[in-house]
C-alpha cells in the first residue's frame, strides 16, 4: 500500500533502543505501514517516544485543582477525608455541559504534556438530584465528546458505586454516583458501550469504585459475571482507615479479600494500592495484575508511598495516572515516584532491573506497557506496523537533548525535561499539539474560564 503520509524524526524509540534518522510511512487512517531508519531529511522533527498513557483520571476534579490547600489557622488536621467532602460539593454542582467544558480543557492539557490516552474512572453519573438522565450515559457521553474534540484516546470506565462505606448506606452527597444494584450498573455499562461508538478513539472498561462503595453481594456478583473482555479498574488500599474498616468488616485486608472474589490477572488495575502487607504485594505481582500509581495526587493527599522497590523486585506491573490532576506532566509523575523511593531507600536505582540499568528507558517502557493494558490496548511494541502512530516528540534543539548521545536521551528526558522541551504530540499520525497549543486552544480556554466563573467555586 502506498503511504498517504510520511513523518521524519531524528530518532524513534523502540523497546530495544533508538532508531536514528527515521521515516515513518502511514496509511490514510494514521496507521504505520513502514518504519525506515537511516533516512535523513532536512525538515525532520525531534525525537519521538511513545505517547504516555494516563491510567487514572477523574476529569471533573480538575476544576478544584489548587482549591484544597487553604487551611484555616487552628483548624483540625486536614486529610483525605476532609478533602473528599470538598470534592463531593464540587460534584453536586456540575452540569453535563460544564463537565464537557472541564474535561475538554483537561484533555487538551494532557495532550500538551504528552499523554495520548486516558482511562477515565467515571462515577459522576446522575443529575444533581441523584436521578438518572434519560440517557443513562449522559455524563459519560460528555467525557467522550471532550476526548473527541481534543483528539485524545479515551477508555471510559463507569464505576459501580452503591454504598457510603463498609456496611453503610450512601450519604446524601454521594447521590450522583449511585447504582442501586448490579442490574442498574449493567444498564449503565451498556449505555456507556453505546456511547463509545460516537468516537473511534473511545472504548470502555468496567470497575468498582472501591470495596467500601459496594455491598458484599453486589461486589461478588459483578466479579462473578466479569468476562475479562475489557480492563477492570478499582481503587484499593489507598488510605489506612480504609484498610482498618475493611478488616473490621471482612476480617481481611482489601487486596486479600478482593483476590478471593476474582482471579486476578493482567486485566485488573488496582489504583493506588498504597498500603500493602507482604502477602498482598506478592499476590498482586504474582497474578500479573497492575498497580496504577498516581504520585502527584498521592503526595497531595498525603496517602503515603507505595512499596515500589519491593514490588519491582517481584517483577510487578505498574502504570501512572494523574487522578485529581494537581499535576499533569508524565515526566514529573515518574520523577516524583522515583524520588520518593530514593528518600526512603537511600538508593538511586529505583527503575533499574537485572536486565537493564537504563532508568529512563525502563520507566517509560514499564509505565507504557501497563498503561496500554489499562486502556485495553496491545503492548507488543512502541511503534508497530498496522498500529496507529501515537507519539510525543521531544525537541532536538533543546540544549541538554541536542548534546546527549542516544545512550543518555531517555534519562535526559525523564530527569531534566519539561513541557517546554516537547515539540508536540501526535495521535493517529496527526499532530494534535505543536509548539505548545492545540488548534482550538483559545476557544477551549475561553469556554473553560466561563465554566469556572459560572460555577463560582474558585472565588
DSSP string, 328-396: --HHHHHHHHHHHHHHHH--S-TT--SS---HHHHHHHHHHHHHHHHHT---S-SS-TTSB--EEEE-T
- How many CA atoms lie less than 13 Å away from 81 in the CB half-sphere? 8
Of 323, 338, 358, 390, which is the active-site residue?
323
State residue 34 phi and psi, 5-degree precision: -150, 150
Pairing of strands 5-14, 17-26: antiparallel
Of 272, 275, 338, 421, which is the active-site residue?
272
Task: Write down the residue that cell numbers 525535561 correspond to.
Answer: 417
323 is an active site residue: yes
Count of CB atoms situated within 10 Å of the CB of 223:
17
Instruction: Convert 256-288 to b/e letters by CB count within 10 Å (16 or more is b).
Output: bbbbebbebebbbbbbbbbbbeeebbebbbebe
The set of cell numbers assigned to 6 is: 510520511
State residue 206 phi and psi, 5-degree precision: -140, 155
272 is an active site residue: yes
C-alpha to C-alpha distance for 290 and 308, rounded to whole angstroms? 12
Q: Residues with catalytic annotation?
A: 272, 323
Amino acid at each position: 500500500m502506498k503511504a498517504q503520509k510520511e513523518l521524519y524524526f531524528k530518532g524513534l524509540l523502540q523497546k530495544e533502543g533508538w532508531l536514528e534518522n527515521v521515516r515513518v510511512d502511514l496509511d490514510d487512517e494514521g496507521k504505520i505501514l513502514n518504519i525506515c531508519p537511516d533516512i535523513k531529511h532536512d525538515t525532520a522533527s525531534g525525537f519521538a517516544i511513545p505517547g504516555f498513557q494516563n491510567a487514572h483520571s477523574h476529569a471533573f476534579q480538575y476544576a478544584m485543582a489548587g482549591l484544597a490547600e487553604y487551611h484555616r489557622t487552628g483548624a483540625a488536621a486536614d486529610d483525605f477525608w476532609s478533602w473528599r467532602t470538598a470534592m463531593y460539593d464540587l460534584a453536586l454542582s456540575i452540569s453535563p455541559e460544564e463537565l464537557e467544558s472541564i474535561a475538554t480543557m483537561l484533555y487538551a492539557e494532557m495532550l500538551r504534556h504528552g499523554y495520548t490516552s486516558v482511562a477515565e474512572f467515571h462515577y459522576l453519573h446522575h443529575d444533581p438530584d441523584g436521578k438518572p438522565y434519560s440517557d443513562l450515559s449522559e455524563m459519560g457521553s460528555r467525557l467522550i465528546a471532550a476526548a473527541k474534540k481534543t483528539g485524545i484516546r479515551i477508555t471510559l470506565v463507569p464505576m459501580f458505586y452503591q454504598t457510603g462505606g463498609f456496611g453503610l448506606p450512601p450519604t446524601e452527597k454521594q447521590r450522583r454516583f449511585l447504582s442501586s444494584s448490579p442490574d442498574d450498573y449493567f444498564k449503565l455499562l451498556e449505555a456507556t458501550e453505546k456511547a463509545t461508538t460516537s468516537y473511534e478513539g473511545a472504548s470502555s472498561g468496567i470497575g468498582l469504585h472501591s470495596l467500601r462503595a459496594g455491598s458484599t453481594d453486589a461486589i461478588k456478583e459483578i466479579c462473578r459475571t466479569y468476562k475479562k473482555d475489557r480492563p477492570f479498574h478499582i481503587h484499593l488500599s489507598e488510605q489506612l482507615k480504609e484498610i482498618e474498616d475493611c478488616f473490621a468488616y471482612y476480617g481481611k485486608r482489601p487486596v486479600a479479600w478482593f483476590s478471593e472474589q476474582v482471579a486476578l490477572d493482567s486485566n485488573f488495575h488496582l489504583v493506588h494500592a498504597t498500603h500493602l502487607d507482604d502477602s498482598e504485594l506478592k499476590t498482586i505481582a504474582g497474578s500479573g495484575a497492575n498497580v496504577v500509581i498516581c504520585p502527584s495526587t498521592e503526595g497531595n493527599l498525603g496517602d503515603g508511598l507505595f512499596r515500589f522497590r519491593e514490588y519491582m523486585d517481584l517483577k510487578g506491573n505498574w502504570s501512572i495516572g494523574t487522578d485529581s490532576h494537581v499535576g499533569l506532566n508524565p515526566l514529573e509523575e515518574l520523577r516524583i515516584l522515583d524520588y520518593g523511593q530514593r528518600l526512603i531507600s537511600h538508593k538511586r536505582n529505583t527503575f533499574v532491573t537485572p536486565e537493564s540499568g537504563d532508568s529512563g528507558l525502563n520507566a517509560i517502557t514499564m509505565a507504557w506497557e501497563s498503561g496500554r493494558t489499562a486502556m485495553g490496548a496491545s503492548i507488543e511494541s512502541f511503534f508497530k506496523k498496522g498500529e496507529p502512530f501515537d507519539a510525543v516528540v521531544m525537541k532536538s534543539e533543546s540544549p541538554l537533548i541536542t548534546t546527549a548521545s542516544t545512550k543518555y536521551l531517555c534519562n535526559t528526558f525523564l530527569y531534566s525535561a519539561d513541557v517546554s522541551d516537547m515539540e508536540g504530540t501526535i495521535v493517529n499520525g496527526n499532530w494534535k499539539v505543536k509548539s505548545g497549543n492545540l488548534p482550538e486552544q483559545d476557544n477551549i480556554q475561553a469556554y473553560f474560564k466561563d465554566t469556572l466563573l459560572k460555577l463560582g467555586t474558585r472565588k
